[in-house]
């Protein structure tokens, strides 16, 4: 059988480094003119001219641009860094910078709020990818309320080869070329695993993806994301509250969003091999692009979704974090955590994508896994138990609002 | 990105049930003549005639063979069952039945030996697949020596579609047709996770795969398998003993086997996303077919390998099972178990294959997962510790014999 790892590696294999730099240089020039300082502009211009002159001969071009200092200065990642530093980010900035600014603010806000709830500080690790991008991972482990909690941001600047583009074209009609394309991916991912088995695990992810034409202008873009709840013990009032809060954010923008994205969530977060969903759902959407709504409207929707996270979850964790529980109930939580691991490692496309991006930070990607998990052979709850009630709902998802 | 689950489902999607029965009927007739009783033969003959008459019209054919009793009687699975029941299995039987008999005997023997070591009995679950095949899962959980131990046999009768055949043809030159083919897969899988962190986890799998032409004769066959050791704490003498015992089995058959299969093992059991092997290896070979050696010789090799399992592992578990250990050492074992889960769920082709065969028994496939595992963020051993020594070896596999 084809291994997922191998396939994803084929899709994502980086083109030769020098060649990549060549394209970056031309692109940076084209996209950079309106925002660059004139010094930066003339530097980029000279590089672009070298690129133009080198024509069809890649090896001649390689020699022309082999100065490592110039290479560093020319990438989109570096251009974006300079833009942020010199001009700040406002409504006129490229969407990727506005989205990045927004999720960085939200990360800070959410982490602060969770620290208030837990009483323990998150560990903050800032990291960089060798050729542009990086992230900030905030992880709290063995807290008072959370056994493990991660709130991460990551930014990837990379290259898609023709195979990957072909796979993506099916969903994005604006993608037309079959040559290699540069891409930009940015996202905030959060998973909170509470200690108390009565308190549900929650996951959230909002991301922005952009591909660029050879001249450096944006070619296709899309937003994706969602939030979903995974209880070990089901409290209907929690499920209703969580879904209701998400629905409010959806309804402000499009009345069809919640029903569509609720269904999508149940379908996506499914342990197909067990015939059960991971949890009691929420919303999920993989690619909201220009065919759905314009970028401004979709960005406004994403902002409302993310801002609604704390109101959707904080009342629940406050209600459940100090409830009494038995050893047997803790064991059931551990078994459910095993199922969580199964979904994330076997089915989740985000995890597969992350693990197969060269130079990715594995510890940030796998922060989604619980601190502890169990696999008990043939573990079957009693037919009329609360554990069985959860399974029934996971096997046949309910409408909560 | 393409999801592994989806791809494997496409590869393995069963053809319509009735259509499959039609082919089974013709095949059973063709392969069955020399061994069937005359009563069985005439029954099969009549069905084959119906199949021939139905010609191109599938729907007409459906009506002609819709008697459920006849359908049951015609599959290769049923024919094999009858052969075993009426004639027993000897050196003249098809290889799949000889291999099945051998691994069933070995399963019984190994389970008995492990029960002696642990003092607790295995739970035995016999199960059947709806359209032929099944298995016997023997699992011991929370034993005295083993936290979890599984010794499983499974048999699958199924159909490969053209896509799957195309993928397999690369390794098997005797596979020539591009139409759908029936296949047979049989294997013994074993994973033992001891309680004591000083005692290594061991994994073993030997399997036999066969594809059949439309006339029911064998088209291609191959054996695969191997055994590998995964310690949390490395004792060189254990690693040397384990590899030496495997090498002895290999050397009896081909001096090139051990070096080739040892290397293959290190390459296969690799958590590529972490740049480390799962354990300290052993041997692994994916497809020993007619291009390598004839079926008799390869079967003899497989027998020696499997018979060498107890001598390779029992001295090790006896040395380690009662060693003293600290809480911190138990924690390291739990983190290493997390890595074991990562390999099995992210990279292992056998697990992916199993989870995606329609009607597979998930609890048998995932018995390979440990009872308990942990994921600790940024868990780094001290530079000169025993834990770090293990990591060094996993990052740069050693030659042990």
Domain enclosing residue B367, as ranges? 89-395
Is residue B114 within 8 A of residue B338, CB to CB? The reply is no
B142: left (phi over 0), alpha (psi -120 to 50) or beta: left
Closest CA to B33 of B217, B219, B296: B217
* β-strands B218-230, B281-288 pairing: antiparallel
- Residues of chain A in contact with residue B5, where contact means CB-CB under 8 angstroms, are 272-273, 346-347
- Whether residues A353 and B1 touch (CB distance < 8 A) is answered with yes
Tokens describing residue B61: 């054919």
Residue A22 lies in a domain: no
Residue B66 lies in a domain: no
Of A3, A346, A371, the CB nearest to B5: A346
Residue A69 lies in a domain: no
Residue B29 lies in a domain: no
Residue A73 lies in a domain: no
Q: How many domains does chain A have?
A: 1
Predicted confidence pLDDT, tens digits, chain A (401 residues): 344 444 444 444 333 333 333 333 333 323 333 333 333 333 332 222 222 222 222 222 222 222 322 323 347 888 888 888 999 999 999 999 999 999 999 999 999 999 999 999 999 999 988 777 899 999 999 999 999 999 999 998 888 777 777 777 766 766 665 567 888 999 999 999 999 999 999 999 999 999 887 676 788 999 999 999 999 999 999 999 999 999 999 999 999 999 999 999 999 999 999 999 999 999 999 889 988 889 999 999 999 999 999 999 999 999 999 999 999 999 999 999 999 999 999 999 888 878 877 778 999 999 999 999 999 999 999 999 999 999 999 999 999 99
> Among all residues of chain A, which has the CA nearest to that of B367?
A377
Interface mutation vs chain B, best among A158, A167, A273, most B CBs within 10 Å: A273
CB-based contact, A148 to chain B, within 8 Å: yes
Closest CA to A290 of A210, A179, A217: A210
Give the SS3 label for residue A141: strand
Distance CA B393, CA B49 (A): 62
CATH number of the structural domain spanning residue B152: 3.40.1500.10
User: For A263-339, where are the E strands, in sequence order?
Assistant: 270-271, 276-277, 281-288
- Annotated catalytic residue A203: yes
Question: Please, which residues bridge with residue B220 across strands?
Answer: B211
Residue A49 lies in a domain: no
Distance CA A141, CA A123 (A): 8
> Among all residues of chain A, which has the CA nearest to that of B165?
A1
Residue A15 lies in a domain: no
Torsion from C-alpha of A288, A291, A297, A302, nearest 10 degrees: 0
Residue A176 lies in a domain: yes
Distance CA A287, CA A289 (A): 6
């Amino acid at each position: 059988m084809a291994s997922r790892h191998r396939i994803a590696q084929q899709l994502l294999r980086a083109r030769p480094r020098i060649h990549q730099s060549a394209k970056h240089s031309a692109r940076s020039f084209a996209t950079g003119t309106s925002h660059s300082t004139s010094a930066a502009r003339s530097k980029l211009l000279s590089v672009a001219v070298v690129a133009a002159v080198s024509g069809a001969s890649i090896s001649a071009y390689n020699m022309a641009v082999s100065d490592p200092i110039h290479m560093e200065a020319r990438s989109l990642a570096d251009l974006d860094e300079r833009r942020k530093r010199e001009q700040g980010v406002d409504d006129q900035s490229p969407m990727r910078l506005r989205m990045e600014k927004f999720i960085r603010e939200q990360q800070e806000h959410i982490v602060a709020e969770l620290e208030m709830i837990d009483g323990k500080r998150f560990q903050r690790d800032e990291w960089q990818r060798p050729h542009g991008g990086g992230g900030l991972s905030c992880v709290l482990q063995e807290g008072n309320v959370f056994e493990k909690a991660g709130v991460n941001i990551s930014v990837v600047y990379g290259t898609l080869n023709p195979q990957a583009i072909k796979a993506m074209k099916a969903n994005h009609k604006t993608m037309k070329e079959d040559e290699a394309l540069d891409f930009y991916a940015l996202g905030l991912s959060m998973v909170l695993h509470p200690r108390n088995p009565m308190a549900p695990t929650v996951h959230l992810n909002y991301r922005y993806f952009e591909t660029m034409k050879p001249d450096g202008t944006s070619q296709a873009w899309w937003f994706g994301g969602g939030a979903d709840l995974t209880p070990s013990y089901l409290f209907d009032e929690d499920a209703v509250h969580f879904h209701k809060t998400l629905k409010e954010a959806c309804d402000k923008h499009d009345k069809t969003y919640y029903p569509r994205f609720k269904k999508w969530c149940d379908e996506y977060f499914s342990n197909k091999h067990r015939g059960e969903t991971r949890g009691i759902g929420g919303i999920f959407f993989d690619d909201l692009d220009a065919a759905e709504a314009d970028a401004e409207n979709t960005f406004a929707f994403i902002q409302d979704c993310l801002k609604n996270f704390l109101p959707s979850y904080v009342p629940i964790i406050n209600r459940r974090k100090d409830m009494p529980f038995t050893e047997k109930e803790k064991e059931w939580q551990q078994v459910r955590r095993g199922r969580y691991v199964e979904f994330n490692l076997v089915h989740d496309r985000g995890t597969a994508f992350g693990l197969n991006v060269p130079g990715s930070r594995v510890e940030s990607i796998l922060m989604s896994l619980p601190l502890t998990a169990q696999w008990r052979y043939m573990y079957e709850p009693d037919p009329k138990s609360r554990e069985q009630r959860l399974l029934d709902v996971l096997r046949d998802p309910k409408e909560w609002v």
